[in-house]
Amino acid sequence: TPILELEGVTKSFSAEQVPAVADLSLSVPPGDILGLLGPSGCGKTTLLRLIAGFERPNLGKIQIGGQVVASESKWIPPEQRQLGMVFQDYALFPHLTVLENIGFGLQNIGKVEANQRITEAIALVGLKGLEKRYPYELSGGQQQRVALARALAPRPKLILLDEALSNLDRQVRDRLREEVRHILKSAGISAVFVTHDQQEALAISDLVAVMRQGHLEQWGTPESIYTKPASRFVASFVTQANFLAAKRLSADLWETEIGCFELPQNYVNGDTGELMIRQEDLILKADPEGKVRICDRQFLGREYRYCLQTSSGKELHALTDKETDLSIGTPVQLYLTRQQPQIFMEM
């Protein structure tokens, strides 16, 4: 049985507003990390609060580990759902030590058992030696480890994390992201990880669900979301690709301002659309006849990120290896790697 199953979950806060969560269905296999990704205001936190039991759906059904926790006829309150929660702002008790914070949810079990679980959780998140400190004596990253340990200690079935890493510096965030995944995997705990950061979602998740205005746009493995975005919205939100206006010349030939592209899969209706070309799929060759110019470049260590301008003034971006060393102002010809471009009819 799935650890989490949502069926047609809908939540409106008022009759005038569009629903914050609209007819949303998905399921998460046990042990998996679901990344819930979408722009600010799309309903991620509301969905998490529905799963946790802080909000009640207007319609639909929520099951956790095969048990119905919310439906038209059934309601299980949050404290009986056996969930762990981690928030963006850590939400630690300032007057309690690390040890006491982590033990907070364990008051109903025996002392010996509680101590064992605290020790285990402290080891898992790498806080050994800091047990007696207070939150103000810890860095942001350490505070978030405490929050994670507190959520893990009661051994919940499922952990819900809402923008848990968003307040941290880039470096700490990247490291903790890897650690959180490792910790959840080694503890065998499923999680719903809410983020507005696409890289974070792809990196930490087994499954990614992309939300837009309360709706689920697409869900699947990070790889499938990245390589086969189902809509223009998912494509631009998840991949930061280039989009070029395209016109159909014949059944499988499409013209753009940087050249013609063959799209053998004749799967779209209509004669105009937008062609998606990923930054890493563009190849640049210096060419005095080229109609595209390099307007800037950034050195990113492993690669260059080029900013290009077409003759009509449109900006494109390309990620290339370090061997592609072109100076600003150079006219170039664009080629594609073997990767097929994808076309979207909605503009």
The residues binding Mg ion (CB under 5 A) are 45
Among 24, 37, 38, 308, indicate the residue that binds ligand ADP (CB under 6 A): 38
Contact between 75 and ligand ADP (CB under 6 A)?
A: no
87/306 with CB nearer Mg ion: 87
Which of the stretches 36-44, 153-161, 175-183, 311-319 binds ligand ADP when contact is defined by CB under 6 A?
A: 36-44
- Nearest approach, Cβ of 206 to ligand ADP (angstroms)? 21
Contact between 15 and ligand ADP (CB under 6 A)?
A: no
Task: Return the one option of Mg ion, ligand ADP, none that residue 93 interacts with (CB less than 5 to 8 A, by type).
Answer: none
HSE-CB for 91 with a 13 A CA cutoff: 14
CB-CB contact of 314 with 243 (8 Å)? no
Contact between 41 and ligand ADP (CB under 6 A)?
A: yes
53/154 with CB nearer ligand ADP: 53
Among 9, 42, 158, 292, indicate the residue that binds ligand ADP (CB under 6 A): 42
Conformation bin of residue 23: beta by default, left when phi > 0, alpha when psi is -120 to 50:
left
Cα separations (Å) of 1 from 30, 272, 297, 329? 8, 44, 50, 58
Among 15, 40, 73, 264, indicate the residue that binds ligand ADP (CB under 6 A): 40
Which of the stretches 41-49, 93-101, 137-145, 153-161 binds ligand ADP when contact is defined by CB under 6 A?
A: 41-49
Query: What ranges in the chain are assigned the alpha helix state H?
Result: 44-52, 98-103, 111-125, 140-152, 170-187, 198-204, 222-227, 232-239
20/152 with CB nearer ligand ADP: 20
> Site mask, ligand ADP, residues 177-216, x = CB under 6 A?
----------------------------------------
Q: Which residues fall within 8 angstroms of residue 25, CB to CB, at 6 or more apart?
A: 6, 7, 8, 9, 60, 216
45/101 with CB nearer Mg ion: 45
- Nearest approach, Cβ of 29 to ligand ADP (angstroms)? 24
CB-CB contact of 100 with 92 (8 Å)? no
Position of minimal CB gap to Mg ion: 45
Long-range Cβ contacts of 294-302 (<8 Å, 24+ apart): 294/326, 294/327, 294/328, 294/329, 294/330, 294/332, 295/328, 296/328, 297/326, 297/328
> Which residue type, as a one-letter code, is found at position 229?
P
Query: What are the structure tokens assigned to 110, written together?
Result: 């025996």
User: Binding residues for ligand ADP, per CB under 6 A?
Assistant: 13, 20, 38, 40-46
